[in-house]
Amino acid sequence: MTSTIDLNMVNAYIPGRADVGPETAATIARRDALLGPAYRLMYERPLHIVKGEGAWLIDSDGRRFLDIYNNVTSLGHCHPRVVEAITRQVATLATNTRYLHETILELAERLLATVPGTDLAHMMLTCTGSEANDLAYRMAKVRTGGTGIIVTETAYHGFTDAVSQFSPSLGVTVDLGAHVRLVPAPRAYHADGADLGERFTRDVEAAIADLKRHGIKPAMLIVDSIFTSDGILPDPRCFLKGAVEAIRKAGGLFVGDEVQPGFGRTGEHMWGFQRHGVVPDIVTMGKPMGNGQPIAGLLVTHDAVAQFGRDSRYFNTFAGNTVSCAAAVAVLDTIEQEGLIAHSARIGTHLREGIAALAERHEAIGDVRGVGMFVGVEIVSDRARRTPDRELTSRVVNLLRDKGVLISACAMGHNVLKIRPPMVLDAGQADMVIAALDESFAEAAAGN
């Protein structure tokens, strides 16, 4: 049997580390045989989920888990409005963008209305965030004549051949492209009060200079505006401005990867970049766009797509299919009608403050940060030195799982709890999370 050990991956299931019971062991063995060695599971004891309801996932034994990790089902699992839209459309028509159809145009109008007064002019659809970032790169190459890419040191942007080459969080066994440069993520907790914006600008400028020194013309700077895999880094506001100016000055595009922060999760705006007072040339999006239905895409300025559109037709058989578009319109309706951006801000603040209060009695909690329904908790073995504690982080994630609360971790040191509740989380559920974290830190400190 092929091993699925993956020390590069945060929170991967590692065979043999915990007793999973005979039934789960048999299912894992069957899965390894069928899906092969590239697939991974999460948690020391993987979950066998059979049902989803709102913020809950239910396993094959009927046990309920509060799912505050999956950022696809951002409206909660099986949101009735999305289920209804899919159910209706799939029985009516499921076809492609080579015919005229109203729903894709409505979707484009609705999405473009989220970025008023900007140059973002067109919507293009893909099936996955990876495809959106891949397409953004193709367009950036055509627009700029360059190939160089700048990303943060633990970024994840996707898995296609091109995009995996600028996704360093896949680990050192996946080669970066020779045309890719990494810059340090803007980590306020580790900055000792330095001006993060200035530092990030300087780092991007150095990366541009290094690309040019190697004869590589810059094509784009791409960042996840909440820096998810780098450890969830929202502050200070506007720290991206100088870097964006630098890449543009060098002839490159600025691509905002909103696959994770997008669709209101930050509790302030529809898009994470809006926190930073910048407007990307291309905004990529995905995950929560269809609340589970495969749909992703991008917004782009006319300037960034004009030459590409002359040279290359773009057709993606399933992207923009009528069913996925109907799901995405239902998602936008729900965010608006349930007031989920404001709700995310309110509950997210409650959750963040509750977790921050835990730091008073749990020495391991070095930093609590985030915005809206995106919370990062940095775990350290020494507060003064801010030493990452990967082991304890993993312990807490797995203790929480055993208590029925699902999260994961992130960051270069694998030591930041990654908490991404559905935007519909209520205050009582947030309190459950805080209580479970409190218990887990206590047990982990006691060596349980």
Q: How far is the CB of 48 from a copy of itself (least distance, A)?
A: 4
Q: How far is the CB of 129 from a copy of itself (least distance, A)?
A: 7
Binding span for a copy of itself by CB under 8 A among 168-176, 274-282, 340-348, 393-401: 168-176
Tell me: does residue 435 bind a copy of itself (CB under 8 A). Answer: no
Tell me: does residue 162 bind a copy of itself (CB under 8 A). Answer: yes
Q: How far is the CB of 108 from a copy of itself (least distance, A)?
A: 4
Q: How far is the CB of 400 from a copy of itself (least distance, A)?
A: 16
Interface residue with a copy of itself, options 316, 344, 393, 415 (CB under 8 A): 316
Q: How many residues sit in the footprint of a copy of itself (CB under 8 A)?
A: 105
Distances from the Cα of 442 to the Cα of 400, 430, 448, angstroms: 12, 19, 9
Q: Which is nearer to a copy of itself, 32 or 245 (CB)?
A: 32
List the alpha helices (DSSP H) in 312-426: 322-337, 340-358, 390-402
Interface residue with a copy of itself, options 294, 390, 438, 439 (CB under 8 A): 294
Tell me: does residue 61 bind a copy of itself (CB under 8 A). Answer: no
**Restricting to residues 115-134, which ones interact with a copy of itself according to CB under 8 A?**
121-124, 127-131, 134
Burial string for 394-419 (b: 16+ CB within 10 Å, else e) reads bbbbbbbbebbbbbbbbbbbbbbbbb
Q: Which is nearer to a copy of itself, 100 or 384 (CB)?
A: 100
Would strands 296-301 and 120-126 be described as parallel, antiparallel, or unpaired?
Answer: antiparallel
Tell me: does residue 272 bind a copy of itself (CB under 8 A). Answer: no
Q: How far is the CB of 448 from a copy of itself (least distance, A)?
A: 25
Interface residue with a copy of itself, options 17, 19, 21, 50 (CB under 8 A): 50
The number of C-alpha atoms within 13 Å of 236 and in the hemisphere containing its C-beta is: 11
Distances from the Cα of 90 to the Cα of 10, 65, 103, 107, angstroms: 37, 30, 13, 17
Tell me: does residue 278 bind a copy of itself (CB under 8 A). Answer: no
Interface residue with a copy of itself, options 19, 21, 36, 198 (CB under 8 A): 36
Local structure of residue 295 (DSSP, 8 states): -
Q: How far is the CB of 117 from a copy of itself (least distance, A)?
A: 17
**Restricting to residues 80-99, which ones interact with a copy of itself according to CB under 8 A?**
82-83, 86-87, 90-99
Residue count (the chain) = 448
Whether the CA torsion 299, 349, 431, 439 is positive or negative: it is positive
Tell me: does residue 343 bind a copy of itself (CB under 8 A). Answer: no
Tell me: does residue 56 bind a copy of itself (CB under 8 A). Answer: no
Closest CA to 436 of 397, 408, 391: 397
Q: How far is the CB of 20 from a copy of itself (least distance, A)?
A: 10
The distance of Cα 102 from the centroid of its chain, to the nearest Å, equals: 30
Interface residue with a copy of itself, options 74, 114, 152, 164 (CB under 8 A): 164
Tell me: does residue 18 bind a copy of itself (CB under 8 A). Answer: no
The span from the CA of 290 to the CA of 405, in Å, is: 24
Tell me: does residue 400 bind a copy of itself (CB under 8 A). Answer: no
Closest CA to 397 of 405, 386, 385, 389: 405
**Restricting to residues 251-270, which ones interact with a copy of itself according to CB under 8 A?**
none
Looking at the DSSP bridge assignments, the partners of residue 223 are: 256
441 Cβ contact partners less than 8 Å away, ≥ 6 residues apart: 358, 362, 364, 365, 396
- Radius of gyration from C-alpha coordinates of the chain: 21
Binding span for a copy of itself by CB under 8 A among 37-45, 346-354, 425-433, 438-446: 37-45
Tell me: does residue 174 bind a copy of itself (CB under 8 A). Answer: yes
Interface residue with a copy of itself, options 108, 149, 204, 409 (CB under 8 A): 108
Local structure of residue 176 (DSSP, 8 states): P
The span from the CA of 380 to the CA of 434, in Å, is: 19
Query: Which helix (H) or strand (E) covers residue 388, if one does?
Result: strand 387-388
Q: Which is nearer to a copy of itself, 4 or 152 (CB)?
A: 4
Tell me: does residue 337 bind a copy of itself (CB under 8 A). Answer: no
